[in-house]
Amino acid sequence: MDYLLPRIGAVLAGRRTYRPDKLAETKAYGGRWTGPQFVLMHDTPETAAPGFTFVSGDIKAAVAMAKAAAGDKYVAILGASTPGSALTLASSMRCSCTSRPCAG
């Protein structure tokens, strides 16, 4: 994990991964990583916790926002269905993705 965390430039997560009532649990990698975090939602609340940006719409727009924020670093995609949606998008665009199991 120490190798990977400095290489992550942004996080994209699904709506159930964002828990405003439990921000310590919501922070990526238990708070060991800091940076821009995007949350894909159908209905976006008016306010987000600091460091989080809500993205409404499709996975393509959400990935584009996260990639722009990440610069030349990785975008970590977290959640139950968001990673699968991103992989489907990547395969339709003939992009390459790397999937690694979560520790823990």
Domain limits, the chain = 5-93
Residue 74 in contact with residue 102, Cβ under 8 Å? no
- Global pTM reads 0.76
CATH number of 5-93: 3.40.430.10
Distance CA 6, CA 27 (A): 15
pLDDT digits 0-9 by tens, 59-102: 888 888 999 999 999 888 887 778 777 777 765 554 445 555 44
**Neighbouring-strand partners of residue 10:** 75
pLDDT digits 0-9 by tens, 17-68: 776 666 666 667 777 888 999 988 877 667 777 778 888 878 888 888 999 9
